[in-house]
Amino acid sequence: MLLTLNLRAACPGCLDYAAGTIWGVTSTDLIAEASGLAMSAENPGVIWTHNDDGNDGHLYAFNTNGSYLGRYDFNVNLSDVEDMALGRGPMAGQTYLYVADIGGAGFGNELRGSVRILRMPEPTVSLGQSSAPARNLSGVERFTLSYPEQNADFDAEMMMLDPITGDLFVGTKQNSGARIYRVNLDGAANNAELDLEFVRTVPFSDASGGAISSDGRQIIIRREDAAQIWTRCDGESVGDALARAGTSIPVIGLPAEPNGEAIAFLPDGSGYLTVSDSEESPPFYFFQSLCAQTAITRQPESVNTQLDQDAVFSVEATGENLQYQWRFQETALASQTASTLTVGNVQSPDVGNYSVVVIGDAGAVTSNPAMLSVSILPPTILSQPQSEVVATGSTVQLSVTVQGTEPFLYRWAFGPKRLATTGPVLTLPNVQRKSAGKYRVTVSNSAGKTVSSYATLRVLIPPTITRQPLGKTLNPGSRFTFRVTAKGSLRLGYQWFFNDTPIAGASRRTLALRNLQSAASGAYSVVITNAVGSVTSAPAVLTIP
In a domain? residue 330: yes
Query: What's the average model confidence in pLDDT over 45-62?
Result: 90
Write the CATH number for 326: 2.60.40.10
pLDDT at 291: 83
Residue 9 has pLDDT above 70, yes or no: no
| pLDDT score of 332 | 92
Domain check: are 418 and 539 in the same one? no
User: Residues 44, 152: one domain?
Assistant: yes
Residue 8's pLDDT band (cuts 50, 70, 90): very low
Q: What average pLDDT does range 207-220 have in this prediction? A: 94
Q: How many CB atoms lie within 10 A of CB 338?
A: 13
Question: What is the band of 278 on the pLDDT scale with cuts at 50, 70, 90?
Answer: confident
- Please report which confidence band the pLDDT of residue 6 belongs to, taking 50, 70 and 90 as the band edges: very low
Residue 250 lies in a domain: yes
401: in domain: yes
- Are residues 471 and 456 part of one domain? no
443 and 501 co-located in one domain: no
Looking at the fold, whether 476 and 350 belong to one and the same domain comes out as: no
Quick one: 365 and 226 in the same domain? no
pLDDT value at residue 182: 98
Please report whether residue 3 resides in a domain: no
Residues 418 and 445 both lie in one domain: yes
Predicted local distance difference test score (pLDDT) of residue 2: 28
Does 45 score more than 80 pLDDT?
yes
Work out the pLDDT band at 4, boundaries 50, 70, 90.
Answer: very low
Is the pLDDT at 529 greater than 90? The verdict is yes
State the residue range of the domain holding 413.
Answer: 380-460
What's the confidence (pLDDT) of residue 513?
Answer: 96
Residues 523, 476 share a domain: yes
Amino acid at residue number 478: S
pLDDT at 196: 97
Q: Please tell me the predicted confidence (pLDDT) of residue 1.
A: 26
Q: Give the best-scoring range by mean pLDDT among 89-93, 234-238, 306-310, 484-488.
A: 484-488
Of 149-163, 173-187, 356-370, which range is least confident?
A: 356-370
Q: What is the mean pLDDT of residues 448-458?
A: 96
How many Cβ atoms sit within 10 Å of the Cβ of residue 519?
A: 7
Residue 47, number of CB atoms within 10 A of its CB:
26
Cα gap 476→478, rounded to integer Å: 6
What was the pLDDT predicted at 131? Answer: 83
Q: How many domains does the chain fold into?
A: 4
What pLDDT, on a 0 to 100 scale, did the predictor assign at position 150? 87
CA–CA distance from 95 to each of 91, 119, 323, 353, 459 (Å)? 8, 10, 25, 21, 72
Confidence of residue 133 (pLDDT cuts 50, 70, 90): confident
What confidence score (pLDDT) does residue 7 get? 30
Q: What are phi and psi of 152, to 5 degrees?
A: -120, 115
Same domain assignment for residues 354 and 397 = no
Q: Considering 243, 262, 288, which residue would you say is the last residue of a domain?
A: 288
* Alpha carbon distances (Å) from 77 to 115, 141, 147, 464: 13, 13, 21, 103
Q: Does the pLDDT at position 202 exceed 70?
A: yes
Phi then psi for residue 434, to 5 deg, are: -70, -15
pLDDT reported for residue 268: 86
Domain's final residue, options 374, 403, 432: 374
Q: Largest Cα–Cα distance in the chain?
A: 147
Check pLDDT > 50 for residue 197: yes
Closest CA to 173 of 96, 82, 78: 82
User: Are both 49 and 132 inside the same structural domain?
Assistant: yes
- Assess whether 165 and 274 both reside in one domain: yes
The pLDDT, as a whole number, for residue 215 is 87
Residue-level pLDDT at 12: 64
Whether 2 is in a domain gets the answer no
CA–CA dist 357, 366 (Å, integer)? 4
- Rounded distance between C-alpha atoms, residue 74 and residue 80, angstroms: 15
Residues 162-195: pLDDT tens digits? 999 999 999 999 999 999 999 999 999 999 999 9
**In this predicted structure, what is the pLDDT of residue 359?**
86
Mean pLDDT, the chain, integer: 92
Instruction: Look at residues 374, 403, 421 and tell me which one is the last residue of a structural domain.
Output: 374
Within a domain: 6: no
Residue 62 confidence (pLDDT): 95
Classify residue 10: in a domain, yes or no.
Answer: no
Domain for residue 165, yes or no? yes
Interval 504-513: pLDDT, tens: 999 999 999 9
Mean pLDDT on 130-157 = 93
Task: Kindly state the helix (H) or strand (E) to which residue 240 belongs, with its residue range.
Answer: helix 238-241
The reply to whether 482 and 437 lie within a common domain is: no
CATH number for the domain spanning 166: value is: 2.115.10
